[in-house]
Each structure stands twice: as structure tokens, then as C-alpha cells.
Amino acid sequence: MGCGCNKNKKTPEQPTNEPTPEQGFQAFRSMVNHQQNGGIMNKMSMVKSFATALTSRGLTDKKTSPASKQLRVLSCFGDADRGGVLPPCEHLKESKTPGKHYCGGCGCGDKPHTWLMSTGKEYSKLDYPRLNCPLNMPGFTNYQHSAPDEANTPLS
């Protein structure tokens, strides 16, 4: 029997907040479906962006304005190598081809027509009149200006 302190008494199982295997499987499946649908939409968005850029080039190889291209170059490459304070973009990738760079954020990859800068009179990615940036940086078509209240000095 024992001393009566209930030390050895079995307690009924406490309910747990752990999901059942079926609930865990359903949660996993909904997460996978969400990622797959987002992936399809992301690919569609990339195709639309690429088509917009190609259309803006037209048949006569139109280029963006020199001022816009300078802003794009600053947004991608920064100016730290010239003593400035702007660092290169976090998505800037070095190509396997020496001296060439491409954007690692837009998903286009390392191909001659995706290199950001060209040599001579070749057409580069930064030359397209309409071109989106994954980070919406200055100089690009999808650049978003800061709201006036974002320029205020922080209180802290």
C-alpha cells in the first residue's frame, strides 16, 4: 500500500498540445501547396517582367536615359570602390566570365544577355528602358519612393 503520500500514485495522462500525425501531415501539405503556388506566381511574374523589358527595347534597340543607367549602376555596383559610401547590392554576383556581373536576385542566371554591363556598343541588361529590380532600387521601373515620414529623424 504505502505511506499515503501518493508519491507512487499514477496520474492520468495530461492532454498535450502536440498535433496528431494527421494534423501534422495536413499542416505540412498546406505549407507545400502554398510554396508551390507562390513559386508558380513568382515564375509568372518573372516572365511578365522579362516580356516587359524586351518589349521596351523594341526593334530599334532603344535604351534607357543616361541618368537612369547611372542610377542603376549605382544601385547595383555601389560606389565604395571609388571612395563613396554606397555598398554593392547584396544580389550582385560575379559571372564565370571574368569582368562580368549579373543579378542573383531576379532569377535570370549567368548568361550573356543578363550581364549588367556590356563592353562597347553591346546591349546590356541595364540598358532596357523598362527594367524591374527585385529590391525596387532607384533607377529601375519599379522603384518606390520613400514616404515623407520615412525621412524624419528617429526619436530614439
**Structural domain count, the chain:** 1
Which pLDDT score, from 0 to 100, does residue 35 have?
43
Which pLDDT score, from 0 to 100, does residue 8 have?
61
Which domain does 77 fall in, by range? 26-144
> Is position 154 within any domain?
no
The band of 26, judged by pLDDT with boundaries at 50, 70 and 90, is low
> Is position 32 within any domain?
yes
The band of 18, judged by pLDDT with boundaries at 50, 70 and 90, is low
**Residues 24, 92: Cα–Cα separation, whole Å:** 39
Element holding 113 (H helix, E strand):
none
> Is position 49 within any domain?
yes
Which residues are within 8 A (CB) of 129 and not within 5 positions of it... i.e. 6 or more apart?
56, 57, 62, 63, 64
> Is position 18 within any domain?
no
> Is position 67 within any domain?
yes
> Is position 50 within any domain?
yes
> Is position 4 within any domain?
no
Q: What is the pLDDT of residues 39-86, one digit of tens each?
A: 555 777 878 888 888 899 889 889 999 999 999 999 999 998 888 889
> Is position 43 within any domain?
yes
User: Residues 71, 79: contact at Cβ < 8 Å?
Assistant: no
